[in-house]
Amino acid sequence: MNASRVVFWTVFTLGGIWLQSFMPGVDFLAPGLILSLQEEKPRATVVMGLIWLMIQEGTGSLAFGTVVIWYGVLAAMFFFGHWLFEAKNFVFVIILGASLGVLHFGLMNVMTQLQDWRVPEGRVLMEALVQAVVFPIEWGLLYVIHNQLPHNGQDV
C-alpha cells in the first residue's frame, strides 16, 4: 500500500471516530469496510477491519461481539449482494445502507435486552434511519476521494 493510501485510511479512521462522537449510534467506519472490500485487496481489508473492530468494540458500551456481528453481517451482505449487483453500483450501496439500518435496529434491540438495558425504541429507530441515509452518502464521497489517489497495485 502506497503512502497516499495509508494517509487516506488513517485520516478516514480518525475522521470516522471524530464523527461518531457527534452522532453516537451511527457507524462512520462501515462505508470504509465496503470500499476496502471493493478494492479487492484482502490483506488490507482484514488489517483495517480488525483495527476498526477493536476501536468500535473498545469504545462501545455493548457486550463484546456486537461489532463482530455488525461487521460480519455487513461483509456477508456485500459478498451475497456482489453476486446480484455490480459491487460499485450506487443502488447496491443504497440497499446495503437500508439493510444496515434494519440490522442496526434489530441488533441494538437484541443486544440491549441481553444486557437488561432499557433504550427508547424511538432513539434506536432514529439511529437506524440516520445510519441508512449516511452510509451511501459517505460511501459516495469516499469513493470519489479514493479514486483520486495514485494507484500502484501493491497490497499491505
CB-based burial label for 53 (10 Å; 0-12, 13-18, 19+): middle
Choose between 135 and 24: higher pLDDT. Answer: 135
CA 111 to chain centre: 18
Other CB atoms within 10 Å distance of the CB of residue 28: 21
Provide the whole-model pTM. 0.85
Q: What is the reported pLDDT for 156?
A: 42
Q: What is the reported pLDDT for 111?
A: 84
pLDDT in tens, 74-133: 999 998 888 888 778 888 999 999 999 999 898 888 888 777 878 888 888 999 999 999
Can you say whether the dihedral through the CA atoms of 5, 6, 7, 12 is positive or negative?
Answer: positive
Q: What is the reported pLDDT for 155?
A: 45
pLDDT in tens, 27-56: 899 999 999 999 888 898 899 989 998 888
User: Rounded distance, CA 127 to CA 105, Å?
Assistant: 8
